[in-house]
Amino acid sequence: MAQGICVGVAAVLVFLTLHLILWRTLRRPFGEFKILLVLAAGGAVGIYFFKNSGERELPLALYGLAIVMYFHLYVGMQRSLSIRVMEELSTNPNRSIAVPELAARYSPQAMFSTRIAWLIKGGWLQLNSQNALVCTGKAERLAKVLRIFHALYNLRQTG
Amino acid sequence: MLLPMIVALAALNIVVFQQQNTPAEILTANFIYLTYFLIYFEFFSMMCRGFSFHIIKLVSDQAPIQENEVMKLYGEGMGAAGMMKKRLESMAKGGLVRIEGDKVIAQGWKSKLIAFVARAYKSLIKMGWEG
């Protein structure tokens, strides 16, 4: 069992080291989340070939859990507005900031425009002849799934 | 969500102990369970707070709709401005900040720790903000 844990931990350390080297050396990694996924999959494949059949489950399960936790951390650090606000507050005198100033720096309007542009580029939304937004086929299917889950979980105010 | 997770984890451990599994098998079962829990947790968070998901749902419900209308109607009418307010309120509820008039003030060791860890991590891997 100890050996299995060591292999799992070693795979996580290799993953983190490669991740650190790549992110510090590549200027702006293209499709960085995809690179992270490939690195993570590489670690799992490494464990599969390193360990004998029947001894793979524990290191693979440990590695899988660590990777999922790390992905949570990575996405949270990259996208969380709350974390960004905490950083902003910690650098300001008295650790405070006026709400209008905060709203100006992290303008929700700009966030909407950026996200809508990204959704149009990704083929989820499109502009009709009146320059209004409509969903594409795949977005309509996704919206149906969302409605089902919102009804299932009884989620009223979301977003 | 934490309570059902703990109850299910306890039930899982009762079952795997009763079946006289080895410690390695018990540990593996726990790791797999926690992995699936985290994936489910992420899925649930996206259902509750996913920004893109809710823009798509809103456009599907109201189409054709102008971009400024999407901003107004987002979050069952809370709009773009309400988004920041909601976020600050949830941070205040978590004890990270307090809101006095139009000022947001960081409070407690948790907010210091979060800011310190975030800055250190971001500078270590040279991460920008993409929220």
Q: Quote the minimal CA–CA distance from A148 to chain B in Å.
A: 11
Q: What is the pLDDT of residue A157?
A: 61
Distance CA A132, CA A126 (A): 8
Cβ atoms A4, A55 nearer than 8 A? yes
Cβ atoms B74, B83 nearer than 8 A? yes
- Residue A16 pLDDT > 90: yes
Q: Does A37 touch chain B (CB under 8 A)?
A: no
Higher pLDDT pick, A110 / A28: A110
CB contact under 8 A, A84 and B129: yes
C-alpha distances in Å from residue B121, one per residue of A57, A91, B31, B125:
31, 16, 25, 6
How many C-beta neighbours within 10 Å does residue A30 have? Answer: 8
**Model confidence at A66, in pLDDT bands (50, 70, 90)?**
very high
10-residue averages of pLDDT along chain B (131 residues): 84 82 87 92 84 88 86 73 79 89 88 91 79 48
The amino acid sitting at B131 is G
Average pLDDT, chain A: 86
Q: What is the pLDDT of residue A126?
A: 92
Q: Quote the minimal CA–CA distance from A78 to chain B in Å.
A: 5
CB contact under 8 A, B131 and A72: no
- Residue A35 pLDDT > 90: no
Residues in B touching A111 (Cβ below 8 Å): 51, 80, 83, 131
Which of B41, B55, B70, B74 to mutate to test binding with chain A, by most A CBs within 10 Å of its CB? B55
Q: What is the pLDDT of residue A158?
A: 61
CB contact under 8 A, B57 and A157: no
Residues in B touching A68 (Cβ below 8 Å): 35, 38-39
Lowest mean pLDDT among A16-25, A88-97, A125-134, B116-125: A88-97
Q: What is the pLDDT of residue B76?
A: 66
Distance CA B60, CA A125 (A): 9
Q: What is the pLDDT of residue A81?
A: 82
Lowest mean pLDDT among A40-44, A100-104, B93-97, B121-125: A100-104
Which of B36, B121, B125, B127 to mutate to test binding with chain A, by most A CBs within 10 Å of its CB? B125
Distance CA B55, CA B53 (A): 6
Put simply, the chain A residues between 118 and 137 with a CB less than 8 A from any chain B CB are: 118-119, 124-125, 128, 130-135
Which of A35, A89, A92 to mutate to test binding with chain B, by most B CBs within 10 Å of its CB? A89
Q: What is the pLDDT of residue B128?
A: 67
Single pTM value for the model: 0.80
Q: Give me the percent of chain A exceeding a pLDDT of 90.
A: 31
